[in-house]
Amino acid sequence: MKMDIEKVARLARIELSEEEKVTLGNQLEQILTYVEQLNQLDTTGVEPTSHAVPIYNAFREDETRPSFPREEVLSISPDQEDGYFKVPRIIE
Amino acid sequence: MELHQLTIHELHALLVKREVTSREVTEALYRRIREVEEKIGAYLMLTEEKAFEQAGQVDRKIARGERIGDLAGVPLGIKDILCTKGIRTTCGSRILENYVPFYDGTVVRRLRQEDAVMLGKLNMDEFAMGSSTENSGFQITRNPWDLSRIPGGSSGGSAAAVAADECIAALGTDTGGSIRQPAACCGVVGMKPTYGRVSRYGLVAFASSLDQIGPITKDVEDCAILMNAISGYDPYDSTSVNMDVPNYKESLINDVKGIRIGIPDEYFIEGMDADVERAVKEAIGLFERWGAKIKRISLPHTPYAVATYYIICTAEASSNLARYDGVKYGLRSKGFRDLMEMYTQTREKGFGKEVKRRIILGTYVLSAGYYEAYYRKASQVRTLMRSDFEEAFGQVDVILVPTAPTPAFRIGEKVEDPLQMYLSDIHTIPVNLTGIPAISIPCGFSRENLPIGLQIMGRHFDEGMLLRVAYTFEQNTDFHLKKPPIA
């Protein structure tokens, strides 16, 4: 299976150099070929496992509780203004 | 015996008898670190000031005649994947190089409540992705048994620090073998608890359905002591399981008579190191001599474990690591023209090769049109593997296998070949995929004097049985007492 590495890197929001595209592309091809061995197994009708220990729903009381103070959270952000995270303009 | 060589239980006895103070032991440990750290490179950061504060508190408690717990005043190392309030937590990544959490992870909080002394934060593969600690964004760590070899990974800093007596014990995390494989490589004890036994709150997420925190220690008794401290339900982690935690010290029983031990054919494979095979088979022989019942079993889907794992863990990682976007915390690149460039450049600069590789693979297997073929398929195979173990544990109480197919390999040996690196986790991965607990203990040495690990797997929440079997082995052998040449 051939992976369109540029497209996938874009989806993953990772910039790759031309060289990385080649080496990473080859390595991923190799890994994908390896994982294709799963197709040897017939899994018709087998339920998927997403969680190894049978917990289905973890409910808690719908009660409010304090979250982290805004100043503390913002204090470690790369950029902030007026109590908000600041990012580049997104709407032209 | 030097102070830095003590185990938790030995040190506790000395503290209680007032033969030594926590301050003296903490000083001894930092002396030891200064002596060997240049060669080992286990620590990313030392927290001396805070450590002496904690030690002083414990010494005052003892002086006042207060009762102290098993971990009080004991200097520990913490893998740098666990959030420590006010102390930098990098997860081995440049993207978190300056990240200072404003909260403690639950296990860290529990250790503080127990008055343990934290010496510093330990090196690891970036975001716990790796089997050699070579993927750290900051430094490599060397194996104390042979400085030209890897300490295993991803908790390589933790295992190397314990083996080199740079801490009394440490915490690691295990997503596909990251506690057990380094423990085996460094000749120490490492346990991956049952999924849900230990809270993951404040553990930087890699693959959430697989990650679990556990102890790396010098012996099995210390493993039980740390398990007592870190286990239990936590409302902040909805996957932690709300059930009673036994006192694991009560499982330290030197007797395996009548215990049924399963040996799965699928783990004794071609390409396995001859010394590993010999050591593990000798261990099996010993258990038989001590009265355990040895039974050949089959775990037929074992050969598919690595493929299953690298679909599931990369898928989960691609989703978990989407949060590193340069907005809320961590690195933000400079010189971007728009939001998209801010994302892509931040992630390009902040992530190392292996992390990028896994995010891209995970993004691919989850992308439209491929999800069924990869992620769903792998999740189904995971069910088949669970059935394998359910069937096996109907016939036996524990399963014995090698922890890793070879002893520690050389630094640089597998860096350029990710698939070969992945295959070094072939014996540890099935445990994470099925959520069961397992422990690795030293069971011998190769002809090159490298430690070999024996892995004991058990039923969900049956850590007590693992400790009993491991303890019996340890009480009747002396592999765990050998020190690396650096000592």
Q: What is the pLDDT of residue B420?
A: 87
Nearest to B196 among A3, A38, A53 (CB): A53
Residues B226 and B315 in one domain: no
B317 interaction partners in chain A (CB closer than 8 Å): none
Residues B82 and B174 in one domain: yes
Q: What is the pLDDT of residue B271?
A: 78
Mean pLDDT of B310-325: 97
Domains of chain A: 2-39 (1.10.20)
Residue owning tokens 């809320």: B328
Domain count, chain B: 2
* Chain B touched by A51 (CB under 8 Å): yes
Count CB atoms within 10 A of the CB of residue A57: 5
> Mean pLDDT of all residues in chain B?
97
How is residue B116 annotated by DSSP? P
Q: Inter-chain contact A31–B418, Cβ cutoff 8 Å? A: yes
The answer to whether residue B39 sits within a structural domain is yes
Alpha-carbon distance B271 to B55, whole Å?
48
Helix (H, G, I), strand (E, B) or coil at B66: coil
Residue B487 has pLDDT above 60, yes or no: no
- Of B196-200, B299-303, B365-369, least confident by mean pLDDT is B365-369
The answer to whether residue B463 sits within a structural domain is no
Residue owning tokens 């990012």: A87
Residues B238 and B311 in one domain: no
Interface test with A, best of B104, B360, B381, B422 (most A CBs within 10 A): B360
Q: What is the pLDDT of residue A56?
A: 73
Cβ proximity of B343 and B326 under 8 Å: yes
Rounded to whole angstroms, what are the CA distances from A72 to A81, B85, B205? 14, 12, 21
Tokens of B48: 């001396």
Question: Could you list the active site residues of B?
Answer: 79, 154, 178
Residues B231 and B317 in one domain: no
The count of CB pairs under 8 A between chains A and B is 159
CATH number, domain with residue B63: 3.90.1300.10
The answer to whether residue B410 sits within a structural domain is no
Residues B82 and B223 in one domain: yes
Residue B402 has pLDDT above 60, yes or no: yes
Alpha-carbon distance A10 to B14, whole Å?
58
A71 interaction partners in chain B (CB closer than 8 Å): none
Cβ proximity of B56 and B21 under 8 Å: no
B264-291 pLDDT, tens per residue?
999 997 778 999 999 999 999 999 999 9
Count CB atoms within 10 A of the CB of residue A91: 3
Tokens of A70: 């805004």
Residues B346 and B223 in one domain: no
Residues B375 and B236 in one domain: no
User: In Å, how far is B13's CA from the nearest CA of chain A?
Assistant: 38
Residue B319 has pLDDT above 80, yes or no: yes
Name the closest residue on chain B to residue A76, using Cα atoms: B329
Mean pLDDT of B251-267: 98
Nearest to B339 among A8, A24, A87 (CB): A87
Q: Inter-chain contact B318–A37, Cβ cutoff 8 Å? A: no
The answer to whether residue B281 sits within a structural domain is no
Strands B43-46 and A84-85: unpaired
Residues B40 and B123 in one domain: yes
The answer to whether residue B142 sits within a structural domain is yes
Q: What is the ipTM of this complex?
A: 0.95
- Of B66-80, B88-102, B145-159, B269-283, least confident by mean pLDDT is B269-283
Dihedral sign (CA B345, B347, B349, B355): negative
Q: What is the pLDDT of residue A50?
A: 87
**What is the residue-wise DSSP string for chain A?**
----HHHHHHHTT----HHHHHHHHHHHHHHHHHHGGGGGS--TTPPP-S-SS----------------HHHHHHTSSSEETTEE-------
Residues B63 and B195 in one domain: yes
The set of residues, in sequence order, having a beta carbon less than 8 Å from that of B196 and lying 6+ positions away, is A53, A55, B239, B240, B241, B435
B336 interaction partners in chain A (CB closer than 8 Å): 88
Alpha-carbon distance B42 to B139, whole Å?
9
Residues B222 and B317 in one domain: no
Q: What is the largest CA-CA distance in chain B?
A: 71
Q: Inter-chain contact A46–B384, Cβ cutoff 8 Å? A: yes
Tokens of B365: 């297997």
Cβ proximity of B129 and B108 under 8 Å: no
Residues B139 and B71 in one domain: yes
Q: Inter-chain contact B103–A68, Cβ cutoff 8 Å? A: yes
| Phi (first) and psi of residue A33, to 5 degrees | -60, -40
Count CB atoms within 10 A of the CB of residue B453: 33
Q: Inter-chain contact B364–A3, Cβ cutoff 8 Å? A: yes
Last residue of a domain, one of B379, B405, B424: B379
pLDDT in tens, chain A (92 residues): 568 999 999 999 999 999 999 999 999 999 999 999 999 999 999 999 988 887 778 888 899 999 999 999 999 999 999 999 999 988 87
Virtual torsion, Cα B388, B434, B249, B227, nearest 10 deg: 170
B304 interaction partners in chain A (CB closer than 8 Å): 37-38, 41
User: In Å, how far is A35's CA from the nearest CA of chain B?
Assistant: 4
* Chain B touched by A46 (CB under 8 Å): yes
Alpha-carbon distance B368 to B384, whole Å?
25
Rounded to whole angstroms, what are the CA distances from B10 to A31, B79, B300? 47, 23, 43
Interface test with A, best of B364, B370, B421, B429 (most A CBs within 10 A): B364
Q: What is the pLDDT of residue B448?
A: 97
Residue B65 one-letter amino acid: G
The answer to whether residue B98 sits within a structural domain is yes
Q: Inter-chain contact B339–A46, Cβ cutoff 8 Å? A: no
Distance from CA of residue B236 to its chain's centroid? 22
* Chain B touched by A37 (CB under 8 Å): yes
B44-66: burial string, b at 16+ Cβ within 10 Å, e else: bbbbeebbbebbbebbebbeeee
Mean pLDDT of B432-440: 98
The answer to whether residue B169 sits within a structural domain is yes
Range of the domain at B323: 303-379
* Chain B touched by A48 (CB under 8 Å): yes
A39 interaction partners in chain B (CB closer than 8 Å): 377
Q: Inter-chain contact A8–B304, Cβ cutoff 8 Å? A: no
The answer to whether residue B309 sits within a structural domain is yes
Q: Inter-chain contact B327–A78, Cβ cutoff 8 Å? A: yes
Nearest to B383 among A8, A37, A48 (CB): A48
pTM of the full structure: 0.97
Interface test with B, best of A53, A75, A91 (most B CBs within 10 A): A53
Rg (CA), chain B: 21
Alpha-carbon distance B475 to B284, whole Å?
15
For residue A24, what is the enclosing H or E element?
helix A18-35
Residue B84 has pLDDT above 90, yes or no: yes
- B154 preceded by a cis bond (ω within 30 of 0): yes
* Chain B touched by A31 (CB under 8 Å): yes
Mean pLDDT of B9-21: 98
Residues B219 and B354 in one domain: no
Tokens of B187: 């000749």
Residue B236 has pLDDT above 90, yes or no: yes
Residue owning tokens 């995270």: A85
Cβ proximity of B206 and B313 under 8 Å: yes
